[in-house]
């Protein structure tokens, strides 16, 4: 069984105060404090079986107390696959669950990855990555551009190396659609 590990490389955490304008409590009196963990300048190195799988960075990250899902702002994710150039994803926000290795990127998601005929750019408003299942997908409108060809689909699914990208209900410009759907 493959073990997954997430290593926190660089983080500066600040607990959030309950309210800034409250009067200070008397000595010995407990003060209500929100125990969410807020991280400024977050960076995670994500590994699998001792091999680097991805780098995840965000301007800020917030993990509610007792939870494993971290809310991210200004996300940058780099995927590493042996023998391929790294893939780069950026988005406005996202969520990362350390327990199950799932990430969702939201808001102006742009993913640049190596395609069969050059660099491939995938844009959408929401994109999911399942580290353990080696799967990347979207269920909303997605545009895929490679070598002057454009595919607009109602989502897509792929492996993390992006060697098996499949769109759903595609509208194309310069891409041939065959039986059983469309493939890059």
pLDDT digits (tens, 9 = 90+) for 50-76: 899 999 999 999 999 989 999 999 999
Can you tell me which residue has the tokens 């969520």?
A: 95
Q: Which residue, among 156, 171, 165, has the nearest Cα to 114 in the 3D structure? A: 165
Neighbours of 173 (CB within 10 A): 11
How much of the chain exceeds pLDDT 90, in percent? Answer: 42
CA 84-112-160 angle, to 5 degrees, is 55
- What are 166's two structure tokens? 């499949």
Phi, psi of 151 (to 5 degrees): -120, 130
> Residue 59 and residue 132: Cα distance in Å, rounded?
25
Q: Are 120 and 113 in contact (CB under 8 A)?
A: yes
Q: Which residues contact 123 (CB under 8 A, 6 or more apart)?
A: 108, 109, 110, 111, 142, 143, 145
**Please, what is the average pLDDT of the chain?**
79
Res 182: pLDDT: 52
**25 pLDDT exceeds 90?**
no
Q: Are 76 and 88 in contact (CB under 8 A)?
A: yes
85 versus 25: the higher-pLDDT residue is 85
Helix (H), strand (E), coil (C) string for 12-58: EEEEEECCCCCCCCCCCCCCCEEEEEEEEEEEEEEEECCEEEEEEEE
All structural domains of the chain, each given as residue ranges with its CATH number in brackets, are: 4-13+36-137 (2.60.450.10)
Given its phi and psi angles, is residue 53 left (phi above 0), alpha (psi -120 to 50 degrees) or beta?
A: alpha
The pLDDT confidence band at residue 183, using thresholds 50, 70 and 90, is low
**Maximum mean pLDDT: which of 21-25, 77-81, 114-118, 146-150:** 77-81
Q: Which residues contact 92 (CB under 8 A, 6 or more apart)?
A: 73, 74, 75, 106, 107, 108
């Amino acid at each position: 069984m493959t073990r997954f590990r997430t290593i926190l490389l660089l983080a500066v955490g600040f607990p959030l105060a309950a309210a800034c304008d409250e009067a200070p409590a008397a000595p010995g009196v407990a003060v209500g404090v929100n125990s969410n963990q807020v991280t400024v300048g977050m960076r995670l190195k994500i590994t699998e079986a001792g091999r680097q799988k991805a780098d995840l960075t965000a301007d800020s990250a917030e993990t509610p107390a007792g939870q494993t899902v971290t809310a991210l702002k200004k996300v940058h994710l780099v995927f590493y696959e042996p023998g391929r150039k790294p893939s780069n994803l950026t988005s406005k926000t996202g969520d990362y669950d350390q327990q199950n290795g799932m990430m969702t990127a939201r808001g102006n998601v742009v993913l640049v990855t190596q395609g069969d005929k050059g660099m491939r750019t995938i844009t959408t408003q929401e994109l999911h990555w399942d580290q353990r299942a080696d799967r990347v997908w979207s269920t909303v409108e997605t545009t895929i551009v490679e070598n002057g060809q454009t595919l607009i689909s109602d989502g897509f699914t792929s492996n993390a190396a992006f060697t098996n990208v499949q769109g759903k209900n595609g509208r194309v410009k310069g891409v041939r659609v065959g039986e059983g759907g469309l493939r890059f």
